[in-house]
Structures are given as structure tokens and as C-alpha cells.
Structure 1
């Protein structure tokens, strides 16, 4: 029987895991998923790739991985079996069979992340795991103006982690929106790819803009400088979610 290739779409609460990537002695999405796969197929089974590796505390509504396995199980049985073995904080939302040349990371055309803010003097316990609480009022118009600066193709060296070793820091942001619904503020950014900590740093820049601490000309200088030397606030991980991957 030939090997079959499957695309798995995952949802998980990042607060329950030490990030996506497998780490010795740590509870991660990859380690829990591979445990479930190995139990389901009754042999050691690893994923081949993921669309991205979310950090500790970062959530996903639509994370994609792909696997190759020799099995006669139909996709509905694979999904049901994995959800039986996975912990409650993670679930396989969809399973589909894909061609052998499909790659969860390299076949992706774009990704969408959301950063969620609870902008209210009083904290919201029900949102505490998924929203950053910002008690001071934020200027939404200023945040929208800041977001527009990042749309387009730019070198985002000044907005990635100092630990990043990426060779090409150029990314294209096709859409960056700021939406306020009551006390909730949703920052939504679509790009062809993201650098390490890039979205959290962009969110931090927009929050600083909402405070009035950063002006559009400051952000343009940061982009042009291509350096984290004058680093500003990096938003905490728990407000961030991977919400879409397009192929």
C-alpha cells in the first residue's frame, strides 16, 4: 500500500502549551499531535511540516500541518481518532488528502494573524487568556494610520526578534486592519510570511501609536533603520492567534 498524504487543520489554546515545536520534557502541540498520530496508526508517526511554529502562549484557529502515512483509514476516521487522543485544549478541525507535493509551509501563499486587545478600565476574566488588557484609552484613528504604514513590501528587520537568523527579512503585508467593537480591538494582518515575533512587535508599535507615544514618522524611521536597537514594546504572546493560512 503506498503512502498517503494528509493535510490537518488544527485549533488550539496556546496557553496550555510551550509553543508548537517539540521540546524535550515540554508539553507542545507537535509532541501531543505526534503522540496522538502514533496511537492512531499504532506506530511512531511524525508530522512532516507545519505552516509555522507558534510561540508559547500563541493560539491558533487555523494551523496547518501535513503528514505522510500508510493507512487505509478514511479521513473522517483519522479526524475522529486524533480528536479522541488529543488533549482538550487542541483539536483537528479538518482532515483532507492532498497530493505528494503539498507542503504545509512552502505551499502557503499567505497567512493571517490577529492580535486582540481588551481596551477597558476593568479587566475581563473571561478574555484574560486571549486578549491583552490595556486599561488606558487607545486612539483608534492613530492606530489605523500606523497600520497603513506597514502595508506593502518592506524589510522588517526592525520588527523581528534579535534572535532571528532569517536570511531574507523582506515581507509583503497585503492588508492590516484595526477594528473596534465595544471594548475589543482586533488587529488583523495578512502577509506572504512573517518573521519571528514580527506580529507581536507590530502590535506593540500600534499600541504605542494609540497611546500617542509614536507618530507615523517614527514608524517610518524604524522601518528604514532596519534595526531593533531602539526597540519598543513587544506585545505579549497571549493576545496573538493564527487565524488563516491560504494555499
Structure 2
């Protein structure tokens, strides 16, 4: 069996999340069905760098899988693309070293959460941003980003029913950017908890609108509870942006 890695982009609005669910269209189902057709009907299983929720998008999700036949990378990319729905694109494919695993070999994952901050929102954008009619206080939000950097207990920013005993995670990059009404929060970390980015975005929305203090936000990183944090921001603003590997299968 030969191991391959692929970068996949998809519109999450077309699926009930990444992971297979009985009777519902998911990204994993679409990918595994396509790969199985290329293997002559033999079931092909794959691993992914992360499992996105219903409505969450991916710019460069990474998957790994094994095939019995040796494929030239671009030919496999084209063959896989030809068996996928239009809401999924195959960005690139590479032969991966033995033992490569899309999830366990990843060094970091990067997510971006987009908001549109204006009294109106273009209809063409509404499926890819969280529309906020009022602009955030940029300085307060940047101060919150600085507080989020490093290793913290993120239990307050995790879905309560899915929170592990050890909720400590490390964020290497946290930044806020604005281009007119389009704003985004960028997060790079070693791993993420369930709904972590969306709950952070929902809490930052409260902070940016003056509904909670910076001191209250900081206390959430000291073992606060989910009930003390803000709401879970809607899924359509969230993108799995990219995943880092060292060595990278794309450079081999």
C-alpha cells in the first residue's frame, strides 16, 4: 500500500460537517466514495488533519490515505477531482512518506474567523462571514489577542459536553486584521478544542462591543467555566485555513 497526502478545499455549507454521519452528506463520505471508485470499488479509508463542524469551511484541509496502485501526483489529483461534487476541490496531491498521518503528523493548524462589520452585508458574503452591524473596538480586541497567546487552560472556550480533563492548549499566533468592513481573527495552535475558535470569536464580540471587560476576558484563561464565556459564533465565518508539517509531504 502506498501513502498519499492531499490538500482539500470545500464549502462547508453543502455538508453536515467533515466526519461521516449516517444518512447525511459529509466531506469524509464524498472523499472516501471518490477514492473507493479509484480503487475499483474497494473501500478506502482516510484520515484528516481536523474535523470541521456543519457549515464550517476549509481552504486547505489535509487528508492522508493509502492506495494499492502507484499514481503520478497530478493524475491522481485530476482523477480524484473528477469524482467529487463541485463543493469540494483538490488543491494538490503528493506521495507521502511511510507513517505519515494527516492528523498525528501535523505540527500546527491555522484557523481564520471572518466577520463583516457594517450596518449592511452583501448577500454574496453572508454564507462566509458573521455579520455584525456594529464595529468592534479594535484596540480592545488586539489586547485580547495578546492575552490568548501562549499556553492556557481553554476550558471556558470549549463545548461543555466535549471538554477533556486537560483543556490546556498552546496558541502560537493570534491576530486581528481589518480591511474596511471585512475583519478576521487568525489563530495558529498545536491543537484546538471543540468549538474553541467559535467560542473565542463569540466572546471577543462581547468584548469588542464593551459588554465584558478585558479583566473578565483574562479570567476566562485562568480556568473559567463555559457559562462565563460568550456565545458560540455561527459556523459560516470559520475556515480551516492551513495545516503545517515538518517535513512537509509537498517538499519531498
Q: Same fold by TM (over 0.5)?
A: yes
Q: How many residues were matched structurally?
A: 245
Partner of 1:35: 33
Question: d(CA) in 2 for partners of 1:134 and 1:16?
Answer: 23
Partner of 2:57: 59
TM-score (norm 1): 0.96
Once the two structures are superposed, residues 147-200 of structure 1 have per-residue CA deviations (whole angstroms, 9 ceiling, x without a partner) of 111101011111100121434311111111000000000110111110000000
Does the 8 Å contact 2:206/2:212 carry over to 1?
A: yes
Aligned partner of 2:143 among 142, 145, 165: 145
Partner of 1:70: 68
Question: d(CA) in 1 for partners of 2:232 and 2:138?
Answer: 19
Moved over 2 A (4+): 43-48, 165-168
TM-score (norm 2): 0.94
Structure 2: which 5+ residue stretches go unaligned? 246-252
SS of residue matched to 1:115: strand
In the TM superposition, what are the counterparts of 1:89-168 in structure 2 within 5 Å? 89-168=87-166
CA root-mean-square deviation: 1.1
Higher mean displacement: 38-47 or 83-92: 38-47
In the TM superposition, what are the counterparts of 1:73-88 in structure 2 within 5 Å? 73-88=71-86
SS of residue matched to 1:195: coil
Question: d(CA) in 1 for partners of 2:45 and 2:227?
Answer: 37
Structure 1: which 5+ residue stretches go unaligned? none
Does the 8 Å contact 1:61/1:241 carry over to 2?
A: yes
